[in-house]
Amino acid sequence: MATVPVGTALPTASPHPDRALDTRPSVRRRRWSRRRAANAVYWGACAAALAGVAAPVVWVLAGVVNSGLRDWHWSVLTTQTVGTGGGLLNAIAGTLVIVVGVAVIVGIVGIAGGIYLAEFCPEGRGGLLRGGSEILSGAPSIVLGYVGYVTLVVRFHWGFSLAAALAVLSVMVVPYVVKATEVSLRSVPTAYRDGSEALGMPSGYALRRVVLRPALPGIVTGLIVAMAIAVGETAPLLYTAGWSNNLPTAHLFHAPIAYLTYPVWTFYNQPYASAHRLAAVAALLLVVLALLMIVVSRIIVAVTQRHSETSSAPH
Amino acid sequence: MTDAVGTHTGTETALRQAEAGPAAGPPREVAFTPAFSCRGVGVGFGAKTVLEGVDLDIAPGTVTALVGPTGCGKTTFLRTLNRLNDRVPGFRRSGTISLVGEDLYDRHMDPLVVRRRVGMLFQRPNPFPLSIHENVIAGVKAHRLAPRSELRSITERSLREVGLWEAVADRLGSSPFRLSGGQQQLLCLARALAVRPDVLLLDEPTSSLDPVSTEAVEDLLRSLVPGLTIVIVTHNLAQARRLADRTVFFHGGRMVETGETAELFENPQQEETRNYVSGRFG
Ligand SMILES: Nc1ncnc2c1ncn2[C@@H]1O[C@H](COP(=O)(O)OP(=O)(O)OP(=O)(O)O)[C@@H](O)[C@H]1O
Ligand SMILES: [Mg+2]
């Protein structure tokens, strides 16, 4: 509680200096209780907002985990789908292949694009790249899937395939990585750039050795978001990947591939208990996969930031 | 060592002459190729002219202070001396600047080599987000000045040079941001010295430091000449008097006066200088 010693002239911008300096006990008490009330209101509002965000998350998680665990049996990890029953090994493997593929493509293209926009693109240029990227991120995924189907799958004769799935998913999520990379690079303190330039480092070298590092958490977060979206997408994959009861093959084209969102979406509408069971387990696996990605990204961030200006971890 | 070092034997000769000291004659004046020689130098950004018509020689192995009221172009001028303004949008420069007899802005002059030869220290300490050891050798690695096996000893030598070795010897692998502000500035100095520059440009290097750290940095700077040429921007006139052999006064878009420090402070030739050094403005 900030009491004002009697007789102290405070440098104050208040339009009523005499009121601000009014230090009679009754006035002070009234102010104190008013401030306490305001404080309580703010705390209440914050708590309500937190609950508003947390409740649906907890609800969804609880539902998914509950039904997933009820129907859990370890053989889903080791056997392939047969009709609407069996296991999910093919879908797990397929999703991993797709996510890794997307991460590689988007990691290279998106990070390169973001670096170009933030570092090398002359002032006032890059509007095309930026605008295109924004339009892409606004396009509904089912539209992208449809376009992918019409052009890649049908016109180019790629068939339902890993290539078509990767192409559409990458196009869909690359804007997130471009944006994340550009924003994080731009927020790197200019002191690092000045310092490395003044030492005579070539700009590419300075970027790799000094400037990229503090930007990494933002870039990794963007990449993880992109991967999470790729894991969770259904519509574009229905159009491009098809579905397969078999494990992924080394063929990029003409080989449909399985993925975890398919059973969740399709099997749930089947009138069989085994299909419902697989849908519940697939949903649980999707949640676990998303959590794993978050954990991995945290670890990457922690390791790369151990010398950062803001890291408070003791050495 | 790479050819980056071989290209400036001229400087080293000049420095050796300077180090020969008073016995070999007057070391400071133009008997040697100046470290910097500016003729009719003008700098500006876009339509705005910051400085015009600067004629200035900076003798090797000396300390030169640049003083003047805020916004008069000290930083801009300093950054022009190691071509750090090259990529600043709108920057323009006229006149000639030579670095030990070579045209600094010549087409064949590699700005990266220039910056290795002309190091710089900023107002606020700016260690990189790397370990202390990696910070010290950042420039050495960038210019491939030494094989891997020598990097440790370069770190130790550079940190000893700035008097920081005792304090950080046991935590070379940890973050520089847990050092005090003064220690961080010394670390940046060690980083700048590790590439063996001929000239060091300092932009108000002690303005964010306490008096004790300031004194440490000043002592250190004094001990670096005449092996090194120092150009320092400072708002602290007492610091200019303590450190500088010569002082340059900028004001109103031009260089008003330059001279031996004592002379400039005791007996300024220009009215503006007199007003500034007596604290009447700025
Ligand atoms: N990048 C820039 N673009 C445009 N104008 C600039 C730029 N940098 C500096 N200026 C202008 O050039 C003038 C000189 O600036 P400079 O930073 O060199 O002053 P200074 O003498 O170092 O001042 P201080 O003592 O406050 O550091 C100022 O008017 C400033 O606004
Ligand atoms: Mg300045």
In a domain, A128, yes or no: yes
In a domain, A174, yes or no: yes
Q: Which parts of chain B register pLDDT below 50?
A: 1-30
In a domain, B118, yes or no: yes
Determine the structural domain holding residue B228 and report its residue range. 2-277
Pick from B122, B175, B188: which is nearest to A306 by CB? Answer: B175
Percent of chain A with pLDDT over 70: 92
So what's the pLDDT on residue B31? 58
So what's the pLDDT on residue B101? 87
Regarding predicted confidence, which is higher, B146 or A14? Answer: B146
Q: Which residue's CA is the nearest one to ligand 1's atom 26?
A: B70
So what's the pLDDT on residue B210? 86
Q: What is the pLDDT of residues A160-195, one digit of tens each?
A: 999 999 999 999 999 999 999 999 999 999 999 999
What type of residue sits at position B34? P
| CATH code where residue A107 lies | 1.10.3720.10
So what's the pLDDT on residue A11? 53
Residue A299 has pLDDT above 50, yes or no: yes
Q: How many domains does chain A have?
A: 1
CA of B223 to the centre of ligand 1 (A): 30
In a domain, A280, yes or no: no
In a domain, B158, yes or no: yes
Average pLDDT over residues A231-241: 89
So what's the pLDDT on residue A76? 86
So what's the pLDDT on residue A17? 58
In a domain, A81, yes or no: no
Count CB atoms within 10 A of the CB of residue A221. 19
Check pocket membership of B50 for ligand 1, CB cut-off 6 A. yes
> From CA B184, how far away is CA A315, in angstroms rounded?
17
Q: What's the mean per-residue pLDDT of chain A? A: 86
In a domain, A60, yes or no: no
So what's the pLDDT on residue B4? 41
Query: Is A85 in a helix, a strand, or coil?
Result: strand
Regarding predicted confidence, which is higher, A128 or A196? Answer: A196
So what's the pLDDT on residue A1? 43
Q: What is the pLDDT of residues B17-46, one digit of tens each?
A: 444 444 444 444 445 688 899 999 999 999
Q: How far is CA B239 from the centre of its chain?
A: 15
| CATH code where residue B262 lies | 3.40.50.300
**Can you spell out the DSSP letters for chain B?**
--HHHHTTHHHHHHHHHHHT-GGGS-SSSTTS--SEEEEEEEEEETTEEEEEEEEEEE-TT-EEEEE-STTSSHHHHHHHTTTTTTTSTTEEEEEEEEETTEETT-TT--HHHHHHHEEEE-SS----SS-HHHHHTHHHHHTT-S-GGGHHHHHHHHHHHTT-HHHHGGGTTS-GGGS-HHHHHHHHHHHHHTT--SEEEEESTTTTS-HHHHHHHHHHHHHHTTTSEEEEE-S-HHHHHHH-SEEEEEETTEEEEEEEHHHHHHS-SSHHHHHHHTTS--
Regarding predicted confidence, which is higher, B97 or A8? Answer: B97
B-chain residues near A196 (CB < 8 A): 128, 138, 142
In a domain, B191, yes or no: yes
> From CA B60, how far away is CA B152, in angstroms rounded?
30
In a domain, B282, yes or no: no
Question: Which 254-273 residues of chain B touch chain A by CB within 8 A?
Answer: none
Check pocket membership of B72 for ligand 1, CB cut-off 6 A. yes
Determine the structural domain holding residue A232 and report its residue range. 91-263
Ranking A4-13, A57-66, B59-68 by mean pLDDT, the lowest is: A4-13
Pocket test for ligand 1, best of B43, B67, B76 (most atoms within 8 A of CB): B76
Residue A272 has pLDDT above 90, yes or no: no
Q: How many domains does chain B have?
A: 1
Radius of gyration of chain B (CA): 19
So what's the pLDDT on residue B3? 42
Pick from B128, B188, B192: which is nearest to A210 by CB? Answer: B128
> From CA B51, how far away is CA A5, in angstroms rounded?
52
ipTM of the predicted structure? Answer: 0.82
So what's the pLDDT on residue A158? 92
So what's the pLDDT on residue A311? 59
So what's the pLDDT on residue A21? 73
Regarding predicted confidence, which is higher, B6 or A90? Answer: A90
Average pLDDT over residues A264-275: 86
Pick from A189, A201, A315: which is nearest to B142 by CB? Answer: A201
Check pocket membership of B74 for ligand 1, CB cut-off 6 A. yes
> From CA B234, how far away is CA B67, in angstroms rounded?
6
Q: What is the pLDDT of residues A97-134, one digit of tens each?
A: 999 999 999 999 999 999 999 988 877 777 888 888 88
